[in-house]
Chains A and B, each alone.
Chain A
Amino acid sequence: GESVGLHLPTLSVQEGDNSIINCAYSNSASDYFIWYKQESGKGPQFIIDIRSNMDKRQGQRVTVLLNKTVKHLSLQIAATQPGDSAVYFCAENNPGGGNKLTFGTGTQLKVEL
Chain B
Amino acid sequence: NAGVTQTPKFQVLKTGQSMTLQCAQDMNHNSMYWYRQDPGMGLRLIYYSASEGTTDKGEVPNGYNVSRLNKREFSLRLESAAPSQTSVYFCASSEDSSSYEQYFGPGTRLTVT
Contact = CB atoms under 8 A, between A and B. Distances in A.
A binds B: yes
Interface of A: 4, 32, 34, 36, 41-46, 49, 89, 91, 93, 98-101, 103-106
Contacts of A104: 42
Contacts of B48: 98, 100
Decide if the interface of chain A is mainly helix, strand, loop or mixed: strand
B81 interface: no
Interface in B63-113: 90, 92, 94, 96-107
Given A41-B106, A99-B99, 20 more contacts: A34-B100, A42-B106, A42-B107, A43-B4, A43-B92, A43-B104, A49-B100, A49-B101, A89-B42, A91-B42, A98-B97, A99-B50, A99-B96, A99-B97, A99-B100, A100-B45, A100-B58, A103-B43, A105-B40, A106-B42
Given A99-B94, A100-B58, A103-B42, A43 B31 contact: no
29 contacts: A4-B42, A34-B101, A42-B106, A42-B107, A43-B104, A43-B105, A44-B104, A45-B104, A46-B102, A46-B103, A89-B42, A89-B43, A93-B100, A98-B48, A98-B50, A98-B56, A98-B97, A99-B94, A99-B96, A99-B99, A99-B100, A100-B58, A103-B42, A103-B43, A103-B44, A105-B40, A105-B41, A105-B42, A106-B42
